[in-house]
Structures are given as C-alpha cells and as structure tokens.
Structure 1
Amino acid sequence: MISVAIINVTSYTGLELLRLLAQHPHLRVTSVTARSLAGQTLGEVFPQLYALPSFTTAIDPMMVIAEEPAPSDLAFVCLPHAAAAEAVAQLLERGTKVVDLSADFRLRDVAEYEQWYQHTHPVPALLESAVFGLSECYPNQIAGARLVANPGCHSTTAILGLLPAFARGIVEPDVIIDSKSGISGAGRSLKLGNLYSEVNEDVSAYSLNGHRHLPEIIQELQAVAADNGHPQSAIRVTFLPHLIPMTRGLLATCYATLTPEALERLNSSSIQELYRAYYAGSPFVHIVEQPPHTKWASGSNHCFIYPTVDTRTGRLIVISCIDNLMKGASGQAIQNANLMCGLPETAGLPVLGVNP
C-alpha cells in the first residue's frame, strides 16, 4: 500500500478525497491535517466514516487530525493558494510526491501568477518542475513528476472541450466560453453569497473582469496548438462563469469560429469523429451524440463532450460537462496520483456517476 496524507482534510476537496480513497485498492490514508480541528478524530468530524466496514484498511475513522502531516509517500494538498505553496515546498523537501489542488503551480509564468493572484509567489523555482495535471495532455510527464498541479474545474471543462480543435488547427484564435457551476465550487468557507437564501432560485454571472482560471485555459490551448504545428500568437478568450443553484456540477459551452478550410470539409458528424479519434484511449472523456447534462457526471470522474457545427454562422460549438468536485478537483487528483505511482489510471475511481 502507498501511504497518503491529506492536507486540509476538512475542505470539500479533502472530504471528497476521503470518499474516494476509502475504496482505493492501493492508496492508504495515514495522515490528515486541519489546524482548526486538530486533536479530533476523522469520525468525530465526518460521522459518515463510521459506516466503513471494519475490514477496510484505507481509512481509519479513529485517526486523529493533526496540525502537521506525518511522513508519507504521497500528499494531496487542499489548501488555498499561497498557503499551499509553502506546504508543498516542505513536503517535497521530505521526498514526498505531491498533488496540489490549489492554483499555486498551474501557471508556468511567475509574473502572470502574481498578476492574477495579487501576491508574490513563495517558491517560484518550483514552477519549472511542476506538471499541469491534465492527464489527457501530459500522461508521461505526470508519471515522472514529483509535483503535479491539479487544474481548476472551469479550466478542466473548457480545455477538454477545446483541445482537439486547437490541436488540429481548425478554429480561429478568438473563443467564447460560457461556464456554469454549482455552489460547492466556491469552497466550504462561510460567505454571504453562498448562503442558501442567496443562491436558491437564482443564477448570476461573476468575475466579469477576469476569472483566475482564464490564464490556465489560454496557457494550455496555446501550448497544444504550438505542439501540433498550429501556433496561435494571441489566443483571445472571453470566459464568463455563472453560479447555478445546485450542489455540484459544471457545464461549459464553448464557441469558436472555424477556419475557412475547416468549414469547407467538416460538419457535425466529422467533428464528432475528429473528437473521438483525439480522445481514443482517454478513459474518462466521452464524446456523446446529444448535449450532455451535469447529472450524467455527478459523483464520477467522467467528462462528457458534445461538439457540433453551426453551419449558419460557421462556428464550432462544444458543450462539455463534469462534476466540479470530481474531474474538476479530487477525482482528477486521484487520477494524477495513480499515474505518479505507476498504477492504472482508473484505480479507485467510480465507474458510473449518480443519476438522478
């Protein structure tokens, strides 16, 4: 068994990791931290863990939550940005492999990170060795990495939806992404805007001046275009997120103008074939023949993508959806950990979601 630590286990992502790791055949949770609840047991904080059968060895409900992690082979860091970077540096010094669920190591350019997150990066030297944790892009790099930066939920959905188009050079560089997510994406901290009476029966747009997942989207689309011989000097992305009154789920609708050459030879059927060929061998990405629903992905690590062509406007329209706590966070973190540890990519991850 591979020993695992969860840093900040009381976050939504930490709790989701516990749910998944309880059934993982190769990873065993040996250390958990949460400074505000140090000294309490996991079962006291999360009583549902007492339902685990007595023969389960992956998680012990009587494990005491600590302020600092014990040594382990692998650690999942679920801290906010800035605080995460310092914890990651300490873990790497111990020789621990790390999957960081914060934003601290997703951007390769330290100046861009500091512009978007408004503070000085604590350990900029680590940006060079960190691997962006989208396994559909970088499986070999993730397998050899000591530090993997788990992508954001909005960026995961948008990037997966647009990767084949930019890799094959069939779209112009101007893209619009309309993204809608459930309230759990805002985290577990108490905020006025997250209260039930504020969000119930309400839909709202936010971050109109720029969401922090935007530079990730541009970075990765630019990289895949260049790597496949279709360099785009200035990809322009209009990205607008919306808050939807549901617990979990994320759906992005992406619009991109097809190049004249692509418009002549492609239709909705051939676009579907192009996408299926691109994601052949990717166990968690599924190209579907009707617009997907967020409930299809709920509780699973799957991403459902529906690409089509609007011949009237000459635009590619791609609808992509995930569970923001799974493929958008903890599920993807375990997918990355599996690759880092030489395990099957799908180990410990649910085969199907929960619907309804």
Structure 2
Amino acid sequence: MTIRVGIVGISGFGGGEAMRLIAGHPSFELIYAAGEGSAGSRLEERFPGVPAKLAGLVIEKWDPAALPKLDVLFASLPTGASAGALARIPQDIRIVDIGGDHRYAEGWAYGLADIWPARISGQTRVANPGCFPAAALTALAPLLANGLIEPGGIVIDAKTGISGAGRGGADSRFGYAESNENLVPYSPLQHVHMPEMARTIEQLSGGSAAGLVFTPHLVPMTRGILTTIYARGRATTGACLDAARRFYAGRAFVRVTEKPPQTKWATGSNLAFVSYAADPERDLVIAMGVVDNLGKGAAGQAVQNANLLCGLPETAGLEGAPVWP
C-alpha cells in the first residue's frame, strides 16, 4: 500500500528530518514539498544528499488551495503560521502539525504517541507535542499515572541543542560565534510549551499542576534534549523504575534505564530514554528524560503519529539505530 505524503516547511530542520524519515519509509511516498523562500528549488539543491528518487522533486510555494491528491500532510511551520492555512485543508487529508498552533485545540488529538496511542489511531488531525514536552512528559507520565509524585510544584530544568531554534532567522544567538562555549537560559516562566505540559500533567494525575516551573537552556550542541525534573514524592528509585517499566511495557521507543541518560543515546532516532533517582526521606523524586529534539521531539514522533493515523505499525520507517558517536 502506497500512502501519498506531502510536507510543508520542508526546508526547515523539522521538515528536513521528516523528509529523511519518509524517504526510507516502507509505505509513505513523498509527492509534494512546499516552502516559502525555497520555492522553485529542487530538493537536491536544498539537501544534496537526498535519495535519487526524490532529488528532482520541486519545492512549491505553499498554497493550501493547490494541493495534489494527498493522504497525509506534515506541516512544519512556525507557531502562529499554520492555524489559518490548515483549516482550509479537506478533512480527507490527514494532517500532522509539527508546529505549535493546534496543541490541545478543539478537533485535534494531542499526539503523545507513546502515552496515548489510542487517542491518535483513526483520527484525521494530530498536533505533535513540543520538543520539551516530549522529553519531560515521557519521564513524568508513569509517576503521575501511578500517584508516585505530587502534580503541583514540579520543576523542569531542560537543556537543548541549537537546532531547536529552527533553520531560518537572523538571530545571532543561534550562530556559531555566540552559541559555541556558551550556556544560555531563556524564556523563564513564560515559555510557549508550559501550557501543554501543565494540561498533560493534570490529565495524567487528575490533580492540579499549579506551581509548575520550566526553564530551558541553550547548550552548544546541534541536537538533543535532556530534562531534569524535580518533584515531591515518597517513592523509592526502584519503585519509580518499576512503574516506568510497567507503563511502557511493549512500547517500542521508550527505554527505561538505571543510569542517567545522555543526549547522544538518542541522536538521529525516535527513542526516548527515562530514568529516576529518589530519596523518600527528603520527599524528593528526580525524573530524567532524553530525546533527540528533531526525532522524538519533532519529525520522529510526527511519523509515529502518521503511522497510527494510517493504521500502520508504529515502528514503520523508524527502526533505525541512533547515530553513534
């Protein structure tokens, strides 16, 4: 079965990673690519290493009224740029929005594929989680669902590679000279991913996420996210690990490890690594989550969600090992 796929925003890091995964997918065929500044270029001009079968595909100017016959559309657009355009897409075209406009929006499933796959299967509209929520919520979910931590007052400290800022833009903070040998916190108390994290914490726990603190930090690496999360709870380390192993039993992409995870473990993959350390005498649980921000944090989870939409095995096109070293 061939499933006709399109990508809008293909020139960005998220769109380019989606193209890489789709190029090796056993059922997906990329027949449409769209962008703005790259319109008119062939894929091989933007991505010299693209497979030969896609090299001549011309990037079109994004116009939701001029789509070819598609089964699935991946939208990798900046937050604020997709809501109006995607509302014009016919319902028979399944959409995975990698951007931020539809997270917890009415009519859109929230695509935490490893946690709520049943909420995604059979839908036509899925909003990919943000990259930070993908790492943090995967680590928190087993603890919240089993009542091992309090949902309020959680503190999330995150480190991310610079590819999370996207490919375009003239902001010098993301250039080599300013990001190399530098560590920068940003958007404290007001990051755009906080609302979806708070809402998911409340859904998983049945309690209030009041007091949630989230601070991301930009680190001088290309890709990867590490979240270190502090919560109140009387569980032991072993109880946390056991809860996670049960929660993710049979789930292909989540690895529970006794050692603190490292970002390189996930590079180039759709894997998520979680681990825990707890001191019940101090009423303290530390949860750790690692993903590749362009993999599980963006395009990898988007392809996993598309597999669920189309009734395919979740692992289709996503079984490649991480890049090491």
User: Partner of 2:222 in structure 1?
Assistant: 247
TM-score (norm 1): 0.86
* 2:192 is aligned with 1:212: yes
2:316 corresponds to which letter in structure 1? Answer: A
Give the one of 50, 59, 63 matched to 1:65: 59
Structure 1 position 194, deviation (Å): 0.6
Task: Check whether the contact 1:98–1:148 (CA below 8 A) recurs between aligned residues.
Answer: yes
- Aligned residue number for residue 129 of structure 2: 151
Percentage identity across paired residues of the two chains? 40
Cross-structure match for 2:309: 340
CA 140–94 in structure 1, closer or farther in 2 if over 3 Å, else same: closer
- Given that residues 222 and 235 in structure 1 are in contact (C-alpha distance below 8 angstroms), is that contact kept between their aligned partners in structure 2? no
Match of 2:154 among 160, 164, 175: 175
Deviation of 1:87 (Å): 2.3
Give the deviation of 1:37 after TM superposition: 2.1
CA contact (8 A) 1:151 1:328 kept: yes
Residue 117 of structure 2 is matched in structure 1 by: 139
Correspondence for 1:39? 40
Alignment partner, residue 99 of structure 1: 96
Aligned to 1:81: 79
Q: Which has the larger radius of gyration?
A: 1
TM-score relative to the length of structure 2: 0.95
Equivalent residue for 1:300? Answer: 269
Equivalent residue for 1:330, pick from 269, 282, 299: 299
Aligned residue number for residue 191 of structure 1: 171
Residues 32-41 or 277-286, more deviating: 32-41
SS of aligned partner of 1:90:
coil
SS at match of 2:82: helix
1:136 CA displacement:
2.1
CA distance in 2, matches of 1:169, 1:208: 27
Q: Counterpart in 1 of 2:10?
A: 9
Point out the structure with the larger helix share: 1
| Deviation sequence 1:50-75 (CA, Å, 0-9, x none) | xx2x5xxxx52101111134231100
Q: Secondary structure at the match of 2:115?
A: coil
Q: CA deviation at 1:168?
A: 1.1
Q: 1:246-272 deviations in whole A, cap 9, x for unaligned?
A: 0000000001010xxxx2xx4212221
Cα distance in 1 for partners of 2:15, 2:124 equals: 20
Aligned to 2:201: 221
Distance in 2, Cα, partners of 1:94 & 1:257: 44
**What is the alpha-carbon distance in structure 2 between the residues aligned to residue 104 and residue 72 of structure 1?**
21
DSSP 3-state at the match of 2:198: helix
Gaps of 5+ in 2: none
SS in structure 1 at match of 2:212:
strand
Other structure's SS at 2:154 match: strand
Q: SS state of the match for residue 156, structure 1?
A: helix
Query: 1: CA distance between counterparts of 2:58 and 2:86?
Result: 22
In 1, are the aligned partners of 2:198 and 2:209 still within 8 Å (CA)?
no
Separation in structure 1 between the aligned mates of residue 162 and residue 279 of structure 2, nearest angstrom: 31
Query: How many residues are paired up?
Result: 318
User: Does 1:237 find its partner at 2:212?
Assistant: yes
- Equivalent residue, structure 2, for 1:121: none
Aligned counterpart in structure 2 of residue 268 of structure 1, from 232, 237, 240: 237
Residues 91 and 124 of structure 2 are in contact (CA less than 8 Å); yes or no, is this contact kept in structure 1? no
Verify the 8 A CA contact 1:181 1:250 in the aligned structure 2. yes
Within 1, Cα distance between the matches of 2:219 and 2:36?
A: 31
CA distance in 1, matches of 2:187, 2:91: 38
* Corresponding residue of 1:118: none
Residues 307, 313 of structure 2: 8 Å contact kept = yes
Q: 1:131-157, CA deviations, whole angstroms, 9 ceiling, x for partnerless residues?
A: 000012321221121100000000111
Contact 1:74/1:96 (<8 A) preserved: yes
AA at the equivalent of 1:104: D
Higher deviation after alignment, 342-351 or 62-71: 62-71
Q: Does 1:200 align with 2:169?
A: no
Check whether the contact 2:189–2:215 (CA below 8 A) recurs between aligned residues.
no
8 Å CA contact 1:338, 1:345 repeated in 2 = yes
Q: How far, CA to CA, are the matches of 1:290 and 1:41 in structure 2?
A: 45
Tell me, yes or no, if structure 1 residue 256 matches structure 2 residue 242: no
Shift of the 339–309 alpha-carbon distance from structure 1 to 2, 3 Å rule, reads same
In structure 2, how many angstroms separate the alpha carbons of the residues matched to 1:36 and 1:104? 21
Partner SS state of residue 36, structure 1: coil
